[in-house]
Amino acid sequence: MKKTIIPFAQVPQLAKTDVAYAIGDPKLSPFYTHPPALDSLDALLEERKQIPFPRKDLTDLLEQQYALLPVKANVQANIQALRHDTTFTVTTAHQPSLFLGPLYFIYKALTTINLAEALESRTGDGRRIIPVFVLGSEDHDLEELNKVNILEKKSSGSRNQRALLAVWIAPVLSRL
């Protein structure tokens, strides 16, 4: 099997601003304080530590939300760690979309976990970095769901028309 590595900046599906941020384009630097580099971690954590945050409220709410789920020791430990001002988070979110199925969802969650572990091991001073994954599925509205562009073909309209879109998409994808 042949492996091809595509440079991040050449992935056409990524927004220009995302690429600019990731590669450190100086034109975007006025819009953020710390560059996306591991060397920024210590300064970033010290800065975040100075910002007051209602940790007790957060952890009380998380405990309430997780109360009906099976108890997982590592989840409980992470929630308790959030009570301390030496604990920080790496947070990402996923908004369900038309073509990005469960594999991408799992990839994003695992990437967040791995990044949190790598950052925590880099601190070396007992600070905790907790991975947080937010599922952004509750913010869809009819306007957002009303249209889709696929291979330069546009579809919009009623609920019935959108339901028929799935019938149209399957044959298109099978030809790719």
| 151 and 131 in a common domain | no
**Is there a single domain that holds both residue 44 and residue 119?**
yes
Per-residue pLDDT band at 108 (split at 50, 70, 90): confident
Q: What is the DSSP string of 89-115?
A: EEEEEE---SS--HHHHHHHHHHHHHH
Structural domain includes residue 15: no
- The whole domain housing 88 covers 37-135
67 φ, ψ to 5°?
-60, -35
Residues 84 and 170 in one domain: no
The answer on 119 and 74 residing in a single domain is yes
User: Residue 104 pLDDT more than 80?
Assistant: no
Mean pLDDT of the 102-120 span: 85
Whether the pLDDT of residue 106 is over 50: the answer is yes
Q: Are residues 109 and 157 located together in one domain of the fold?
A: no
Q: Is the residue at 21 inside a domain? A: no
pTM listed for this prediction: 0.68
Answer whether residue 131 is part of any domain: yes
The string of pLDDT tens digits covering residues 69-98 is 888 888 899 999 999 989 999 888 877 666
